[in-house]
Amino acid sequence: MQILAVDDDPIILELLEQFVLAIGGHEVTTAESGMAALELLDGDESGSFDCFLLDIQMPGMDGIELTRKIRDIARFADTPILMLTAMTDKRYIDAAFAAGATDYVTKPFEVSELKARITLVEGLVEARQSRTQKILATQSAPSEGNTIELYEPISIYDVDNVIEYMAMENYVSQLSRNALFGSTAFAFTIRGIETFYAEMTAFEFFSLVSDVAEVISDTLEGRQFLMSYAGNGTYVCITESGWRPESRKVMDAVNLSLATTELFDNKGNRVEPRVSAGDAVRLIWKAGSSVMEAVSTAHASAEAAAAEHEYNKRDFWHLGQTA
Amino acid sequence: MKDILPGLDRVRDRFLTMLEDRKTNIASHAIAAWEADCVEDICAHLAAAQSILHQIAGSAGSLGFAALGDSARHCENEIISHLQSECAALPECPEQLILNMDMFLSSCNDILRTPA
């Protein structure tokens, strides 16, 4: 991989060069400021960088702002960005993920830790290349049918507070690591997602998932949260401490917003998705893998709520009956 | 570690060379913050010292100076806490911050005096 490392400390840049050399198989280019990095990217029209390593705290443009600017460049919209930071303050970490970071590594770092993260990133780069090809292929030939899997997480761009699913997993794992558990997990599932999936081209399905994400994000505006599309019509949200969403109210607000938003498929037919929300699961006092389990519980709860809604709609005459 | 990273010695030498300058700069900012009599100057010098401490804290541990890195991190966090507190609006620099930096600078001197 071609890696661009940005840090105002020349020692860190030299260390990274040595570490990447030791890992082998990658090349690293360095820049000592956000502006210098953007100049490099400006002259890199072919988009040769596969991964970014960015310091958060830098004079002038900090790593969070640089992340936003990199994400604004279309060819780097889904390029993995690892934040290098000594700042374990949750506000900085949340801001980095919200800006588009994929993961973060805490300074001082060890070669083994950096190697593990870069190996993960390498896998991500390969997976993304394959996924991007699928979406682009379907855009040009929509009649060829779906090439996105229903259960596959999809990267959604340019929607506030929406991050990739892998970044969400990393974020949750960092919460465990730093014992910052004042958050809540909850999820939304698009009702009847299988039907949408069966009837739409991959590009239409991708657009539907993106549009619903935007509506949810707009509805939750003003709240501190991060959200990710986990596949199968489900969006997983992690909220900041202090806000425990009331699922029913939030779901009604999202559905009201969806009802007033005009969405269409490629043939001009109106598309009217609605969501079900699952239970909000508090992450306080959870540790280690149980944090991810709590997120899975929230995820499963939303899918169950959507399935129940579909069942009740179809078999409403069974409601309230006893044997 | 040296077997894995043959160039680490060179980076370590550069870190020590820079530590000499960084130590001097931290001391200058600490004294200036202590002697300043307006809030803006005190905060500006403390923030400048904090920025240098932040860099040392970020790399020292990876180069075999974990204790120095921890000490820098402690000083940095104390300065950040002060700058974010209501006390930062007062025209005086807390003595404890200066003492923390003094201890850190002593640790720097110990390392710089130790033969390679």
pLDDT digits (tens, 9 = 90+) for A130-158: 655 554 454 443 344 557 889 988 888 88
> Which amino acid, one-letter code, is at A12?
I
Within a domain: B3: no
pLDDT tens over chain A, length 323 residues: 899 999 999 999 999 998 888 888 899 999 999 999 999 998 776 668 999 999 998 888 999 999 999 998 888 888 899 998 876 666 788 888 888 898 888 888 888 888 888 888 887 777 666 655 554 454 443 344 557 889 988 888 888 889 888 888 887 776 655 545 567 889 999 999 999 999 998 889 999 999 999 999 999 888 888 899 999 999 999 886 567 788 889 999 999 999 998 888 888 888 999 999 999 888 765 555 677 788 888 999 999 999 988 888 777 666 555 54
The CATH number of A147-323, from 3.40.50.300, 3.10.580.10, 3.10.620.30, 3.30.70.270, is 3.30.70.270
Closest in B11, B51, B55 to A14, CB measured? B11
**Phi-psi label, residue A282: left if phi above 0, alpha if psi -120 to 50, beta otherwise:** beta
Closest CA to A4 of A95, A74, A67: A67
Give the number of other Cβ atoms within 10 Å of residue A318's Cβ.
9
Is the residue at B1 inside a domain?
A: no
Domain count of the fold of chain B: 1
- In this prediction the ipTM stands at 0.87
Cβ separation B11–A22 shorter than 8 A: no
**Residue entry with tokens 């498929």:** A265
Task: List the CATH number of the domain containing B70.
Answer: 1.20.120
Residue B2 lies inside a defined structural domain of this protein? no
pLDDT at A304: 92
Which stretch of DSSP H or E encloses residue A231? strand A225-231
Hunting for tokens 């002060």 — which residue is that?
Answer: B82
- Cβ <8 Å between A9 and B60: no
Burial of A267 (0-12, 13-18, 19+ CB in 10 A): exposed
Prior bond of A245 cis (ω within 30°): no
DSSP-assigned letter for residue A142: G
Among the listed residues B100, A300, A17, the one whose alpha carbon sits nearest the alpha carbon of residue A9: A17
Whether A13 and chain B come into contact, CB under 8 Å, resolves to: no
Residues A159 and A218 sit within 8 Å (Cβ to Cβ): no
pLDDT digits (tens, 9 = 90+) for B25-45: 999 999 999 999 899 999 999
How far apart (Å, rounded) are the C-alpha atoms in residues A32 and A39? 11
Contacts of B62 in chain A (CB under 8 A): 15, 107-110
Q: Which of A15, A53, A55 to mutate to test the interface with B (most CBs of B within 10 A)?
A: A15
Q: Which helix (H) or strand (E) holds A84?
A: strand A81-85
- Number of Cβ within 10 Å of residue A307's Cβ equals 14
Does the beta carbon of A62 lie under 8 angstroms from any beta carbon of chain B?
no
Q: How far apart are CA A264 and CA A168, in angstroms?
A: 29
Question: Containing domain of residue B94, as a range?
Answer: 8-113
| Structural element, H or E, at residue A270 | strand A270-271
State whether residue A60 sits within 8 Å of chain B by CB: no
Among B1, B5, B18, whose Cβ lies nearest the Cβ of A11? B18
CATH superfamily placement of domain A1-140: Response regulator (3.40.50.2300)
CA angle A290–A97–B59, rounded 5-degree value:
95
- DSSP string over B28-92: HHHHHHHH--SHHHHHHHHHHHHHHHHHHHHHGGGGT-HHHHHHHHHHHHHHHHHHHSGGGGSSS
CB-CB under 8 Å, A86 with B58: yes
Closest CA to B55 of A89, A58, A96: A58
Residue A298: exposed, middle, or buried by beta-carbon count in 10 A (0-12, 13-18, 19+)? buried
Size of interface A-B (CB pairs under 8 A): 62
CB atoms within 10 A of CB A9: 22
> Which residues does chain B have within 8 Å of residue A8's beta carbon, measured at their own beta carbons?
55
Instruction: Count, in order, helices (H) and strands (E) of chain A.
Output: 10, 12
Task: Give domain limits for chain A.
Answer: 1-140, 147-323
Length of chain B: 116
